[in-house]
Amino acid sequence: MSEKKEQSSYEEIDGMDDVQSEISKRVEEEEEIREREDKLDKDMFVEEEKEEEEEEEMATQIEEEEKEEISEVTAEEPEVTAKTPEVKDDEKKKKKEEQVVYAHFDVDLWRTKMHREEWGIRLDAQRAQKDRQWTRDMDMIGEIKKDGETYGFLGQREKLWKAKDPLARRFVMKMFSKGGYWRGSIERLQGESFANSHATKEPCPAYVCIFKHTRNLYRIKRLAHFPRFQGEVFGFSFLDENDIFQTFVIDDKRLTFGSDWMIKDIHNKVIAKIDGKFMNLGGRFKIDIFDEKLALDKTFFNMLILFSATLRFHKDVKKNIKKALKELRISDATVKLDDSETNLYLNPRKLSI
């Protein structure tokens, strides 16, 4: 038994020696690996130092080249400075040419009726005798000036606008000459306004302009503008006396005091501007036209005059559309359009046959 125990003890000792030898081998291998890594790190550090030195040399070369270029430019500075003012002058001339005002109008809507043009029932009778367009429910509300001189007056059908029923409430404004003769009208189309507003889920009034001197009708519509924070936008098509078609946009100029609108053509060029005075209780608007041909077209500038006159009532018109649509949704009410409006929906081709 003693011999077996001695043999087992010897075997255990041999096993321990083997384990120690394996551990020592592993330690040596790890030390060799560390030495290799240290060498690699040193080599990398040397390479990085070389790269940094090369970059510094390149930077110094670039700085020297830049200094040489600056010195050459400073030597040629007198010629450059002599040319730069000419370029600035050309830019200023171009800007001035773009902002040339070929026609200017002032639309002044009175807050009260305390104007000499408004006094007396006799004046209304005299105006009615001059022109049929001056009806009994007309109320003179403003004056138009062209280049500082009186161009005409604006009248509104007051009873239609103050109707209590939102479905029967109509907006009709007319423009008369200085002598009291009718020039044109702008009317809100109830049917088209309700249809557009129902489709876009927001009040979108639609207007029609009618003029004495032309057989064409001109429609101005508020269009849905996305995103909505960019403001409101109107669009209208324009057919001049030579049957040349054009399309324009009336864009709300946001972040300004008052009511300012830019009229742009198909090339997004500003061809006119409507500037609404801030804190004016009645409504005062300045119209500038920057296009020479359109400044001479009375249909075009009369459209802008009539549109600017609607801006005083713009919020009330939208409120009226909201109330009318709400009443149509919650009740069985129907819309009965006025005869003067239904005539505008008639088929012109059938009438001409």
The model's pLDDT over 308-339, given as tens digits with 9 standing for 90+, comes to: 999 999 999 999 999 999 999 998 888 888 88
Tokens of 169: 């409430």
Distance of CA 326 to the CA centre of its chain: 29
Q: Please determine, for residue 62, whether its predicted confidence score (pLDDT) is greater than 80.
A: no
Q: What is the spatial distance between Cα 275 and Cα 168, in angstroms, rounded to a whole number?
A: 32
% of the chain residues with pLDDT over 90 = 42
Last residue of a domain, one of 28, 60, 75: 75
DSSP 51-93: HHHHHHHHHHHHHHHHHHHHHHHHHTHHHHHHHHHHHHHHHHH
* Residue 220 and residue 116 share a domain: yes
- 230 and 132 both lie in a single domain: yes
Is the pLDDT reported for residue 85 higher than 60?
no
Q: Tokens for 29, please give them.
A: 């291998």
In a domain, 93, yes or no: no
Residue 141, classed as helix, strand or coil, is strand
134 plus 280 within the same structural domain? yes
- Give the integer Cα–Cα distance in Å for 142 and 156: 9
Token pair for 20: 């120690």
In this structure, the answer to whether residues 142 and 264 fall within a common structural domain is: yes
Same domain, residue pair 125 and 274: yes
Cα-based distances in Å from 96 to 102, 270, 274, 288, 290: 13, 14, 19, 14, 11
Q: In the 8-state DSSP scheme, what is residue 346?
A: S
pTM of the model: 0.69
Range list of H helices, 201-248: none
Which element (helix H / strand E) includes 249?
strand 245-252
Q: Do 233 and 338 have their domain in common?
A: yes
**Domain shared by 296 and 250, yes or no:** yes
Neighbours of 217 (CB within 10 A): 12
For residue range 333-351, list pLDDT tens digits in order. 888 888 888 988 888 777 6
- Is position 87 within any domain? no
Same domain for 268 and 314? yes
Q: Are residues 110 and 180 in the same domain?
A: yes
* CA dist., res. 345 & res. 97, Å (int): 43
The torsion region of residue 202 among left (phi > 0), alpha (psi -120 to 50) and beta comes to: beta
Domain contains 83: no
Residue 235 belongs to a domain: yes
| Tens-digit pLDDT profile for residues 136-169 | 889 999 999 999 999 999 999 999 999 989 998 9
- Residue 98 falls within a domain, yes or no? no
Give the residue from 240, 232, 238, 246 showing the smallest Cα distance to 220: 238
When pLDDT is cut at 50, 70 and 90, the band that residue 80 belongs to is very low
Q: How far is CA 286 from the centre of its chain?
A: 19
Domain span at residue 269 reads: 103-348
Domain boundary residue, one of 29, 60, 75: 75
SS3 label, residue 328: helix
In a domain, 97, yes or no: no
Q: For residues 243 and 224, is the Cβ–Cβ distance under 8 A?
A: no
Q: Are residues 54 and 139 in the same domain?
A: no
Question: Which residue did the predictor score with more confidence, 170 or 64?
Answer: 170
Asked, for residue 120, whether it belongs to a domain, the answer is yes
Confidence of residue 78 (pLDDT cuts 50, 70, 90): very low
User: Domain tally for the chain?
Assistant: 2
Same-domain status, 289 and 172: yes
- Tell me, yes or no, whether 90 lies in a domain: no
Do 118 and 32 fall within a single domain?
no
Q: Range with the lowest mean pLDDT among 71-75, 271-275, 282-286?
A: 71-75
